[in-house]
Structure 1
Amino acid sequence: MRLSAGNRARLDQAVADFGYDRASQQVGIVHLGIGAFHPAHQAWYTDRAMAAGDRDFAIVGVSLRSPAVAEQLNPQDGLYTVTERSDGAAATRLVGAVQRVLVADQARDAVLGSLSAAQTGIVSLTVTEKGYCRAADGSLDFAASGAGSFYPLLAEAFQQRRAAGAGGLTLLSCDNLADNGRQLARLMGEYLDRHDPALRSWFDAECACPSTMVDRIVPATTAADRAELAARIGLDDHGAVMTEPFSQWVIEDTFVAPRPRWEAVRAELVSDVRPYEMAKLRMLNGAHSLLAYCGLRRGHAYVHQAIADPAIRQLVETLLRDEAAPTVAAAPDQDLERYGQALVARFANPALNHQLIQIAMDGSQKLPQRWLETLAIHQARGQQCPAILTGIAGWIQHLRGANGPVDDPRAGVLSAAAQSADPVSALFGPDGALASAWLPSAADRAAINAHLD
């Protein structure tokens, strides 16, 4: 029997229940880009805030591409479970924060109705790095930001809200971009300047785009995961998500509308997100990419297998301790050495089965903030980053097809550059396919080429 509101009482008593009256909660948040991460993170925080007494922050999820999440959650009345896994233990919670999921190209009017509704105050986003439609120089790619992206939806919703006097929105980016809130504000502004300049001033005056840092490892849920869960909780949950016990959410406290008391459920509301963001991007995400490209190259499939490989573990520890951490201006309460040690322990969690090929996707969108900024900082200090340079060699091999078809929005250009006689210059040189502040020196090229087949 499949999980739904009607048979919620059939769940095993070991499943923690949210406890509040869902029917009395109005929608206050629209989430763009609902996938596996949002249910395990932002919706999970919001659910616990409502369980602690907050009201009217129920969520409408919007899928911009695939109907898969709508097909998982709508027959279950939006209900799903989050299972926290560690070695030898699993704890499951029922989450009721999501009321329904809309597919943008199938229900555009309903999406706009939710975005423009007076009671909606927050629009959160997990659209991945490529969903922001940035050109190589960081500006908005106007060709990519048309139909299918979130920009036209938000612009039309702004028009409707302005006409109705409904007030502005807090746009809450939860993607792995440095200064994600400021980038979203800039890119949205560029879109409005091109398509509706008069609306730009309303957006600037009425809306806010706080920066955030999100941290939780959420692997793709497998059929085996769902079968094991069903045997344990007594119902089939097609929307189940599996994650680790650790979770962190740091949010810049600049909102233009009411928000849940996320700080009551261990989110951190701060004035400056950047130290946390830089640590996460350059340490956790940087190490993840290193594990992916070097791990796949050595025949591993999962993160916990790769970190158990002594050669890869040494690379990861070098990246965390000697390369990434020294580039982060830590906040007073940040202990980067302890954070790095905790990351290695999290990577070693054998219960997650986090696929390396999943992390290896979209390298062109991820590596500038994960690796290239770190390389540029060390280069200015006259230093090299041997672990990251080894990772770049692994990425070049990946672009050459060593791990199967390349899943990247710029796969064609990048793969051609990787196959050239001088792949390092073709990718990272002054006119390279992935321009950045880091330009490889002769020593850098030699270090990378030494690891290429």
Structure 2
Amino acid sequence: MASPERSPAPRALPRPDTPPVALTVPPADRPEIRPLSQETLRSHGARLTVPTYDRAALTPAVVHLSVGGFSRAHQLLYFDEVAERRISDAWGVVGVGLRHRGMQAALAPQDHLYTVVERGPDGERARVVGVMVDYLFAPDAPAAVVDRLADPRTRMVTLTITGAGYRLDPHSGEFDPDDADVLRDLAHPHAPTTVFGYLVEALDRRRRAGLAPFTVVSCDNVHRNGDATRRAVVGLARLRDEVLARWITDRVAFPSSMVDRITPQTSPEERAAVARRYGVDDRWPVITEPFSQWVIEDTFSNGRPPLDEVGVRFVTDVGDHELMKTRLLNASHSALGYLGSLAGYGRMDELMTDPLFVAYVTRLMDDEVTPLLPPPDGVDLAGYKRTLVQRFANPAIADGLPRLCRRGSTKLPHHLLPSLRQALAGGRPRRLLTLAVAGWCRYLRGADPAGRPLPMEDPRAEELQALALAGGSDPRPLLAVRPVFGDLGDLPEFVADLGAALEQLDRDGVHRTIAAALAAGPALPLPLPR
């Protein structure tokens, strides 16, 4: 494995040299709209940046499992930059879909090309990404996915499978051997259905063939995601073969990583706007912000990609960077998502025009979360938080609050509840953290105070909504769900505080409840509640 070394400080992904264009284009300037493909690529070069490297010369060394909007706006863009700058042609990417056919249907007719539009307050830039050389839909071709992973050219596997995909007990952190899909993979190891079934089968084939293993890099917002991935892979391997499990433990690198880039869902309207503005008929473009960050632990089992030359930072330990990002950005996203939705907002940029919510999230980060964080080496936390507020308020992104409210039962135990638990143990301020949890509990009832329905996308949606409706302002039924809350329901002081916050939300509404919580903290000038 490569030895750790210092790398440049993390920075935003390098932008294309083309200047930003205005967010609207007069009808007379609209180009002819043409499909996106390798054949039409050169014709698009006048309006947006296109690959100038030889795509056919790329070695398919990276397999990304579960391709979505974020991975296409983040990890693949870094590898595309490696190729575009002629740093190396040895790190082409093969995408793998796990559940939904839509990505395959969009990418295949486009020769796996797609458009990334980077939007900031000053305008936008667009580029076509060409580093994906193939795409496989796993349910249709499990053997082909295993073959690709076992291919000697594959040196790195990256994952964006969400926290629920790791099959780990939320409190012990250990692999769940009784999961139904895991049992199916054990019964049919050559035709796996889970990510870890694919990884274990491919690693076993590489071991038996005498090949070096690939490096596995998780890009999910999971605490110590490299360790979580190792526990899942080794846990499944041990159920198959103890010798295989020991080989994986000794030979395979699972570096933890921290990824950061706000990437909303692409709407049909956005796709149409990209076509009108740039003349490119892309079936699934990606809209994202200018900021991008990737920090990876510097341990690799089959060669390290030269990502540090395009803005990735390699570090000895990613833990402090991960805590900074998950407990500031992700926890703030959850808090604002639930409370903002209850207040009737639909988008983050609209919410951030409300000075009360700006004061809330600023104080949440400054007073209750930051004092619990070890400062990451070389990072200005105060500057990072200012940047977060600016990113939340970016009107060009228009990030929908429903996206931020998804999978709360998975996100809150990783992003928000650890800070709350730590504050409780240390006797530290926690009023705003508690209010964020109350916002989620109130959101789970499925409608805002005006009766408008709230979208519920959560693996425990049915169970949690029933408990939220049954409990009302009493949080104890929800707190009894130990896979989510652990032992927080056993702490009388917290139960009382959370119940009081829920009662106040029901009685006074979101704005007056937030104003009261802020007034009870350090004295600062507060906006008047609505």
TM range (shorter): over 0.9
Segment drifting more, 160-169 vs 89-98:
160-169
Q: Show structure 1 runs of 5+ residues with no match.
A: none
Query: For residue 465 of structure 2, what is the aligned residue in structure 1?
Result: 415
Query: For residue 518 of structure 2, what is the aligned residue in structure 1?
Result: none
1:225 corresponds to 2:270: yes
Q: Show structure 2 runs of 5+ residues with no match.
A: 1-33, 185-192, 448-452, 507-530
What amino acid sits opposite 1:9 in the alignment? R
| 8 Å Cα contact 2:368-2:428 kept in structure 1 | no
Alignment of 1:259-274 (within 5 A): 259-274=304-319
Query: For residue 143 of structure 1, what is the aligned residue in structure 2?
Result: 179
What amino acid sits opposite 2:459 in the alignment? P
Query: For residue 179 of structure 1, what is the aligned residue in structure 2?
Result: 224
Deviation at 1:415, TM superposition (A): 2.2
What amino acid sits opposite 1:54 in the alignment? S
Deviation at 1:405, TM superposition (A): 4.8
| 8 Å Cα contact 2:446-2:456 kept in structure 1 | yes
Deviation at 1:12, TM superposition (A): 4.3
Query: For residue 445 of structure 1, what is the aligned residue in structure 2?
Result: 498
1:77 corresponds to 2:111: yes
| 8 Å Cα contact 1:158-1:168 kept in structure 2 | yes
| 8 Å Cα contact 1:73-1:100 kept in structure 2 | no
What amino acid sits opposite 2:179 in the alignment? A
The SS at the match of 2:61 is strand
What amino acid sits opposite 1:73 in the alignment? L
| 8 Å Cα contact 1:116-1:161 kept in structure 2 | yes
What amino acid sits opposite 1:428 in the alignment? L
1:130 corresponds to 2:180: no
What amino acid sits opposite 1:170 in the alignment? T
The correspondence for 2:392, drawn from 334, 347, 351, is 347
Segment drifting more, 405-414 vs 337-346:
405-414
Alignment of 1:270-289 (within 5 A): 270-289=315-334
Query: For residue 140 of structure 2, what is the aligned residue in structure 1?
Result: 106
Distance of 2:149 and 2:474 partners within structure 1: 45
The 1:451–1:77 alpha-carbon spacing in structure 2 relative to 1, beyond 3 Å, is farther
Deviation at 1:344, TM superposition (A): 0.4
What amino acid sits opposite 1:86 in the alignment? G
Distance of 2:477 and 2:107 partners within structure 1: 45
The correspondence for 1:118, drawn from 141, 152, 165, is 152
| 8 Å Cα contact 1:304-1:347 kept in structure 2 | yes
Query: For residue 56 of structure 1, what is the aligned residue in structure 2?
Result: 90
Deviation at 1:134, TM superposition (A): 2.6
The SS at the match of 2:374 is coil
1:383 corresponds to 2:383: no
Number of residue pairs matched?
452
Deviation at 1:139, TM superposition (A): 2.6
Deviation at 1:386, TM superposition (A): 1.9
Distance of 1:369 and 1:441 partners within structure 2: 22
Shift >6 Å, 4+ stretches? none
What amino acid sits opposite 1:416 in the alignment? A
The correspondence for 2:215, drawn from 170, 187, 210, is 170
| 8 Å Cα contact 1:128-1:175 kept in structure 2 | yes
Deviation at 1:144, TM superposition (A): 4.9
Query: For residue 51 of structure 2, what is the aligned residue in structure 1?
Result: 18
Deviation at 1:37, TM superposition (A): 0.5
Deviation by residue 1:328-379 (Cα, 9 ceiling, x = unmatched): 1012311111111110000000111211111111111110121111011111
Deviation at 1:17, TM superposition (A): 2.5
Alignment of 1:362-441 (within 5 A): 362-402=407-447, 403-421=453-471, 423-428=474-479, 432-436=482-486, 438=488, 440-441=491-492
The 1:359–1:21 alpha-carbon spacing in structure 2 relative to 1, beyond 3 Å, is same
| 8 Å Cα contact 1:379-1:438 kept in structure 2 | no
Query: For residue 372 of structure 2, what is the aligned residue in structure 1?
Result: 327
What amino acid sits opposite 1:7 in the alignment? T
Deviation at 1:179, TM superposition (A): 0.4
The SS at the match of 2:127 is strand
Deviation at 1:88, TM superposition (A): 4.4
What amino acid sits opposite 1:444 in the alignment? D
The correspondence for 2:235, drawn from 190, 197, 207, is 190
| 8 Å Cα contact 1:60-1:99 kept in structure 2 | yes
What amino acid sits opposite 1:279 in the alignment? M
Instruction: Report percent identity of matched pairs.
Output: 37
Deviation at 1:190, TM superposition (A): 1.5
Distance of 1:149 and 1:308 partners within structure 2: 43
What amino acid sits opposite 1:304 in the alignment? D
What amino acid sits opposite 2:152 in the alignment? A
Distance of 2:117 and 2:136 partners within structure 1: 24
1:358 corresponds to 2:403: yes
Segment drifting more, 242-251 vs 14-23:
14-23
| 8 Å Cα contact 2:158-2:218 kept in structure 1 | yes
The SS at the match of 2:475 is helix
Distance of 2:384 and 2:500 partners within structure 1: 28
1:38 corresponds to 2:71: yes
What amino acid sits opposite 1:449 in the alignment? L
The correspondence for 1:9, drawn from 42, 50, 54, is 42
Distance of 1:18 and 1:401 partners within structure 2: 46
What amino acid sits opposite 1:34 in the alignment? V
What amino acid sits opposite 1:286 in the alignment? A
Deviation at 1:397, TM superposition (A): 1.8
Deviation by residue 1:27-63 (Cα, 9 ceiling, x = unmatched): 0000001000111000000110122221221111111
The 1:343–1:399 alpha-carbon spacing in structure 2 relative to 1, beyond 3 Å, is same
TM-score computed with the length of structure 2 as normaliser: 0.82
| 8 Å Cα contact 2:258-2:321 kept in structure 1 | yes
The SS at the match of 2:255 is coil
Segment drifting more, 183-192 vs 209-218:
183-192
Deviation at 1:433, TM superposition (A): 4.9
Segment drifting more, 254-263 vs 274-283:
254-263
The SS at the match of 2:125 is strand
| 8 Å Cα contact 1:427-1:433 kept in structure 2 | no
Distance of 2:40 and 2:397 partners within structure 1: 28
What amino acid sits opposite 2:478 in the alignment? L
